[in-house]
Structure 1
């Protein structure tokens, strides 16, 4: 499955980069395929391992002083598909390149 999620600390002010970095650190240390952009971190794996990482990312934000955390999560659950993190993007890029010819 693919999970795109965003963890935001509540009540810590506007500068949340250090909190987000703690969440992303948990994701990267998980060893699961992942990608972070300006709005979301996308993670690939099975249900249990992905949701465990999301939970630990939220807990990491709480551990550094955010008493309240907002979590936005979107999931693509498609059994039997592997490497969707890169192949979905590659498909769109290929289609865009073909259309431009």
Structure 2
């Protein structure tokens, strides 16, 4: 299982607000039961099988084009840990435990 952070930014929309594009991208995630995800103020974190996540991000990348964007910039950051199972919750909990000490 991997944890991926992605940010999909539509360009050439004529409007500085992109929340409607973000919401449309998240509809793709809502329809996908094979991954867990978390919306953050600056992007989206997705947890699951890497091949499935990349397929989902590919679908999300197309959404702004389908909604009128002339250009789309998609950033993907992959955390692939193989020595133990890593999860979104586990990463956050590890930091919070250290802060509590």
Q: TM-score, normalised by structure 1?
A: 0.88
Q: Which has the higher strand share?
A: 2
SS in 2 for 1:18: helix
- Matches of 1:33 and 1:81, distance apart in 2: 18
Give the C-alpha shift of residue 28 in structure 1.
2.7
- Whichever structure has more helix as a proportion of its residues is 1
Are the structure 2 counterparts of residues 25 and 83 from structure 1 closer, same or farther at C-alpha, using a change threshold of 3 Å? farther
Q: Partners in 2 of 1:14 and 1:26 — Cα distance?
A: 22
Runs of 4+ in 1 over 4 A off after TM superposition: none
Q: TM-score, normalised by structure 2?
A: 0.88
Distance 2:81 2:60 in 1: 23
Aligned residue pair count: 98
Structure 1 runs not aligned, ≥5 long: none
Unmatched runs of 5 consecutive residues or more in structure 2: none
